[in-house]
Amino acid sequence: MAPIFQQVIATQDRYGLQAYLTCTRKGSLRGKLEEELRACTGRKREEKTRLLKILQTGVLLAEETVLADSGPGEISVPVMIRLLEISNHTLFWYYLASNLAYLTMLIVALKTSAAPSVV
């Protein structure tokens, strides 16, 4: 299990990591994976610590570095994601309101053109 876990981490795919960790939790294999990581003698101590930390937190260390390295003048990743979510919702509501207004105008135009003209 440990080599597969290491391959998942090597891909730097956080969704893949979350899927793998979910499978280990559902299959009650997390303890076995942790034991394998601790018992493995072929890895350096730093590598073991890194893998165990990723296993415990569920976060790739590259993401942690990005979050920690953002200084006061830089925008952090969570803030940027939140900003993009707000922009996405704003555009959705704008387009929804615009389309409803256009639909209303179309209905009014169709009703007035279909009404019998009185001379």
Q: pLDDT tens string for the chain (119 positions)?
A: 888 888 888 888 888 888 888 888 887 888 888 888 888 777 688 888 888 888 888 887 765 444 445 455 555 677 888 889 999 999 999 999 999 999 999 999 999 888 776 66
Please indicate, yes or no, whether the overall pTM of this predicted structure exceeds 0.75: no
Which residues neighbour 78 within 8 Å (Cβ) at sequence distance 6 or greater? 67
Give me the pLDDT at residue 15, please.
85
